[in-house]
Amino acid sequence: MVDDGLLLRKTLGCLVRSDRAPIAPQELPVIAALEALGIPFERYGHPPLASAADAAPYWADIDAAHTKNLFLRNQKGTRHYLVIIELLKRADLRAVANQVGDGKLSFGSPEQLQALLGVTPGSVSPFGLVHDSSREVQVCIDRDLKIHERISFHPNINTATLVLTFADFERFLASRGNATQFITV
Helix (H) or strand (E) holding 176: helix 166-176
pLDDT digits (tens, 9 = 90+) for 122-145: 899 999 999 999 999 999 999 999
Summarize the confidence of residues 43-69 as an average pLDDT. Answer: 86
pLDDT at 7 over 60: no
Distance CA 19, CA 7 (A): 6
Per the CB < 8 A criterion, the answer to whether 155 and 43 are in contact is yes
Confidence of residue 1 (pLDDT cuts 50, 70, 90): very low
Q: What is the pLDDT of residue 50?
A: 78
pLDDT digits (tens, 9 = 90+) for 14-47: 545 566 678 899 999 999 999 999 999 999 988 8
Q: Which of 5-14, 78-87, 142-151 has the lowest mean pLDDT?
A: 5-14
pLDDT digits (tens, 9 = 90+) for 72-87: 999 999 999 999 999 8
pTM score of the predicted model: 0.88
CATH number at 7-183 = 3.90.960.10
Q: What is the pLDDT of residue 56?
A: 78
pLDDT at 6 over 60: no
Distance CA 169, CA 18 (A): 18
Structural domain boundaries in the chain: 7-183
Q: What is the pLDDT of residue 112?
A: 97
- Percent of the chain past pLDDT 90, that is, above it, reads 73
Confidence of residue 99 (pLDDT cuts 50, 70, 90): very high
pLDDT at 70 over 50: yes
Of residues 126 and 53, which shows the higher confidence score? Answer: 126
What CA–CA distances, in Å, run from 159 to 44, 123, 172, 180, 184?
9, 9, 21, 27, 29
